[in-house]
């Protein structure tokens, strides 16, 4: 699945799924733009990639900032001359609470990053993709965007919106050779899921161990999912092997709630 000469922008690439995606795309030969506002995380990723001999650029990018996104696109074009792949991964988990206990500012903070950020990043990158009449936009949605997800209403609503945006944009740009898909992870193992589990335990009165066991039991494989498994789907969608896939929502969820 060679991505040699391809340039991939990954938002929120400093940790978790975003970092796993950046590693997989670099492994397959792409130059990678690590677009994240966290300076320490970005510096660590740049050092890792440069030591491995990968082509990499780091940008301080908040996906809710149009100025940041404009600067990211220009910096990428100045360095690499092109953009071929955008992975819209940046996201926040938001509150864990019943809807009536979710404050408006909490709701809006989730929507700003998880939905508006995808829109703004896509809009910023699309002109160069349209000029080349090719490219891939891969949006990281969630299993929560396909099912009811109690105590996580802002997050679930945001990921339903990402899927709708994905399908609509795919229709709009298909004639320009641009493929747009969404990947829906199930419960991902790691610090972020640990925080979600602990928050749900506080909300429901369970122990964290009980919540984790319940979550694992809701997957057919009986386990949480490594971020690297999501990255492999992203790398596949970025490759020529996925040249006839667009407008789709692809699940990587260990059989979560099927």
Question: Which of the residues are catalytic?
Answer: 155
Rounded Cα gap, residues 168 and 115, in angstroms: 14
Give residue 55's Cα distance to chain centre.
Answer: 21
Please choose, from the candidates 88, 76, 64, the residue with its C-alpha nearest in 3D space to the C-alpha of residue 13. 88
Q: Is 187 left (phi over 0), alpha (psi -120 to 50) or beta?
A: beta
What spatial distance separates the first Cα and last Cα of the chain, rounded to whole Å? 30
Distance, CA of 162 to CA of 59 (rounded, Å): 24
Element (H, E) at 163: helix 153-173
Q: How many CB atoms lie within 10 A of CB 99?
A: 12
Select from 173, 162, 108, 106 the least CA-distant residue to 136. 173
């Amino acid at each position: 699945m060679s991505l040699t000469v391809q340039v991939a922008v990954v938002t929120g690439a400093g940790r978790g799924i975003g970092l796993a995606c950046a590693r997989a795309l670099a492994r397959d030969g792409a130059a990678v733009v690590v677009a994240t506002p966290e300076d320490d995380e970005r510096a660590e990723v740049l050092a890792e990639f440069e030591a491995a001999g990968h082509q990499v650029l780091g940008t301080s990018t908040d996906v809710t900032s149009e100025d940041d996104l404009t600067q990211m696109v220009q910096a990428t074009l100045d360095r690499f001359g092109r953009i071929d792949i955008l992975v819209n991964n940046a996201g926040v988990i938001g509150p864990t609470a019943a809807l009536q206990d979710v404050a408006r500012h909490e709701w809006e903070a989730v929507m700003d990053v998880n939905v508006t950020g995808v829109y703004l990043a896509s809009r910023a990158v699309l002109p160069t993709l349209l000029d080349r009449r090719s490219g891939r936009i891969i949006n990281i949605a969630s299993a929560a965007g396909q099912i009811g997800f109690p105590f996580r209403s802002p997050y679930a609503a945001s990921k339903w919106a990402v899927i709708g945006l994905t399908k609509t944009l795919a229709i709009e740009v298909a004639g320009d050779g641009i493929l747009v898909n969404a990947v829906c992870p199930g419960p991902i193992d790691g610090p972020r899921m640990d925080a979600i589990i602990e928050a749900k335990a506080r909300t429901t009165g369970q122990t964290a161990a009980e919540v984790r066991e319940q979550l694992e039991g809701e997957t057919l494989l009986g386990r949480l999912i490594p971020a690297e498994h999501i990255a492999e789907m992203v790398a596949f969608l970025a490759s020529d092997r996925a040249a006839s896939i667009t407008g789709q929502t692809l699940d990587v969820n260990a059989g979560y709630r099927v």
